[in-house]
């Protein structure tokens, strides 16, 4: 596998040539940059993957059950498992989605679950991403380029083929499709993940569309093709946030949404992938309750662990957090991309007191977690092999069955001793090899 070291520069050049980039807005200016690729793969054994697969399927099934319940009967609230006020105060809960049952009852079709592995080998779930999780395209194209650079490596090692992601995605869209073509709705060229939108559309056979290509006529959604013909749309894999999806329902100033799409979605005449309103399930505060959801909905013991988490919303947890603030990592429940994450140990005494006061005033806004000293994995830095922190984003697709992709996006920090691995914070990525038997 270290043979790939000789090809690292050529692989990164090809990625740049093919536009394998991500975009960020900094000081109001859009900038694209290469997502740096590291040639040393992360290796997951077949036995490890068996455990991950079972645990991830269990978790996503429970989260889908929770979403069906919370926008329906709300039995989990009636039974006191989760405080009612905790749900309705979440910025991810959308009253506009009340009573809507998505096609086939699936809310989270594509779930991105972030994990880390502790030094004792235990895997911990850090976050559940059920709105618009991104990143699957990067290991797809990386594997393709690595196969080209070193085909003999993949003949020598028993590695699960990850080129089936596009097929899994199509299968997932087809299952929920209400009759018509599959469309990937992109906000356009200046979106941070535009490369992924176009790549997944090409590989899955879906149509890549801007909002201006789509129109609601009567009770159905149509795509206007290059010949000016209307084609009925049965499933929309939307890559824009809830707030901008439909200016008639959410933000009226949205210029990237499709007017009235929520009206026909409510009638069951189009599938929206992922469902609007999923933000309630990936609120970092709701993360605290997922092990209870697994027990409540599935009557099973969680296979994978949450990171040890404290909810200042509860008095006992609040007191613990105040006493151990300098040993915990504090997360803003509404932030993403590595933002809103503060390590208490990094704060000065004055900053610590100010932050504690903020948590004291806004208890619902934060969670606190024990700092997991997760595994260092080897990366190449200036022609030297050095250890860096890394996480894994696993992709779980829910259609007729819940399936875990035998791959994933391994992101690593390029800064020594940093726990922040997000691309928006300067991280890189590497291929994830799941070994077969």
Selection from 268, 153, 280, 165 nearest residue 221 by Cα: 268
> Two tokens at 405?
């992709």
pLDDT reported for residue 30: 63
Residue 253: per-residue pLDDT: 97
Predicted pLDDT of residue 8 = 73
Residue 147 has a pLDDT of: 86
* Confidence (pTM): 0.93
Digit-by-digit pLDDT tens for the chain (437 residues) are 556 676 677 777 777 777 676 666 566 666 677 778 898 999 999 999 999 999 999 999 999 999 999 999 999 999 999 999 899 999 999 999 999 999 999 999 999 999 999 989 999 999 999 999 999 999 999 898 888 877 888 888 899 999 999 999 999 999 999 999 999 999 998 888 888 999 999 999 999 999 999 999 999 999 999 888 999 999 999 999 999 999 999 999 999 999 999 999 999 999 999 999 999 999 999 999 999 999 999 999 999 999 999 999 999 999 999 999 999 999 998 776 667 789 999 999 999 999 999 999 999 999 999 988 888 899 988 888 999 999 999 999 999 999 999 999 999 987 787 776 665 556 789 999 999 98
pLDDT score, position 22 = 65
- Note the pLDDT of residue 381: 86
């Amino acid at each position: 596998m270290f043979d790939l070291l000789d090809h690292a520069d050529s692989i990164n050049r090809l990625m740049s040539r093919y536009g394998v980039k991500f975009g960020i807005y900094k000081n109001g200016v859009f900038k694209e940059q290469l997502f740096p690729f590291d040639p040393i793969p992360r290796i997951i054994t077949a036995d490890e993957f068996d455990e991950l697969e079972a645990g991830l399927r269990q978790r996503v099934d429970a989260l889908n059950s929770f979403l069906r319940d919370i926008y329906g009967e709300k039995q989990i609230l009636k039974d006191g498992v989760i405080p009612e006020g905790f749900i309705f105060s979440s910025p991810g809960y959308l009253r506009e989605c009340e009573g809507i049952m998505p096609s086939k009852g699936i809310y989270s079709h594509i779930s991105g679950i972030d994990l880390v592995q502790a030094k004792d080998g235990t895997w911990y779930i850090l976050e559940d991403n059920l709105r618009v999780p991104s990143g699957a395209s990067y290991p797809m194209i990386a594997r393709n380029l690595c196969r080209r650079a070193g085909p003999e490596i993949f003949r020598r090692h028993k590695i699960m083929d990850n080129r089936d992601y596009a097929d899994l995605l199509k299968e997932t869209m087809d299952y929920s499709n209400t009759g018509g073509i599959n469309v990937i709705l992109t906000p356009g060229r200046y979106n941070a993940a535009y490369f992924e939108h176009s790549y997944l559309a090409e590989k899955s056979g879906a149509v890549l569309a801007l909002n201006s290509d789509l129109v609601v006529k009567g009770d159905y959604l149509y795509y206007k093709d290059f010949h000016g013909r209307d084609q009925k749309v049965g499933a929309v894999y939307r890559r824009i946030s809830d707030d901008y999806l439909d200016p008639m329902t959410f933000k009226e100033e949205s210029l990237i949404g499709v007017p009235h799409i929520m009206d026909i979605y409510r009638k069951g005449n189009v599938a929206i992938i992922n469902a609007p309103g999923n933000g309630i399930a990936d609120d970092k505060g709701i993360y605290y309750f997922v092990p209870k959801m697994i027990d409540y909905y599935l009557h099973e013991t969680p296979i994978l662990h949450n990171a040890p988490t404290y909810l200042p919303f509860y008095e006992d947890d609040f007191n613990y957090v105040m006493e151990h603030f300098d040993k915990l990592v504090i997360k803003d429940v509404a932030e993403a991309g590595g933002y809103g994450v503060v390590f208490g140990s990094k704060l000065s005494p004055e900053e610590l007191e100010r932050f504690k006061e903020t948590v004291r005033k806004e208890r619902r806004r934060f969670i606190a977690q024990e700092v997991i000293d997760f595994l260092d994995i080897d990366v190449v830095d200036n022609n030297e092999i050095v250890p860096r922190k890394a996480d894994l984003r696993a992709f779980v697709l829910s259609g007729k069955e819940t399936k875990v992709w035998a791959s994933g996006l391994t992101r690593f920090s390029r800064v020594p001793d940093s726990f922040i691995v997000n691309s928006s914070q300067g991280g890189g990525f590497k291929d994830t090899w799941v070994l077969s038997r």
